Amino acid sequence: MTIKNIKNLLEQALISDGEMRQELYEYELEDLLDELTVSLIEDKNEFIFAVTEHSGDVAMVLVEKSKKIYINESARNRLKKLWRAAYSYNMKRMIPDFAKQLNDDTIPINGVNTINEIIATV
């Protein structure tokens, strides 16, 4: 599969709310949960997520600091809530890199910290 095809599949699943496959999550991402949790703690991230693609299917996992795990559509929906208005923008910027990594047989893993906006009143 080409990088362009992978990119299109990721856009369909992550931006256009396409279907994700439980079987692909179980096959490629479930075994990463311990590694993701360790990385989350060591890097002091607020959450961490990974996506994968195989044979036209897409899967996703997101782990929060509380160690709560979200899979596929629930992971995408949770990330949308965490990133609010920035979700689509962030995905459009990240998906090309995800596609390249997946084409190189590497699962993209992303630890995230958010910056809370402080508003001072004068």
pLDDT tens per residue across span 78-87: 999 999 989 9
- For residue 36, what are its two tokens? 């993701």
Q: How many domains are contained in the chain?
A: 1
On whether residue 23 sits in a domain, the answer given is yes
pLDDT of residue 1: 82
Residue 119 has pLDDT above 70, yes or no: no
On whether residue 121 sits in a domain, the answer given is no
Residue 120 has pLDDT above 90, yes or no: no
On whether residue 12 sits in a domain, the answer given is yes
- 103-116 in b/e form (b: 16+ CB < 10 A) is beeebbbbbbeeee
> Which of 69, 72, 63, 68 lies closest to 25 in space, CA to CA?
72
On whether residue 109 sits in a domain, the answer given is no
Domain that holds residue 39: 3-104
pLDDT tens profile 1-39: 899 999 999 999 999 999 999 999 999 999 999 999 999
Confidence label for 121 from pLDDT (cuts 50, 70 and 90): very low
On whether residue 46 sits in a domain, the answer given is yes
Widest distance between CA atoms in the chain: 57
pTM: 0.90
pLDDT of residue 115: 65
The enclosing H or E element of 62 equals: strand 57-64
On whether residue 115 sits in a domain, the answer given is no
On whether residue 8 sits in a domain, the answer given is yes
On whether residue 43 sits in a domain, the answer given is yes
- For residue 74, what are its two tokens? 């629930």
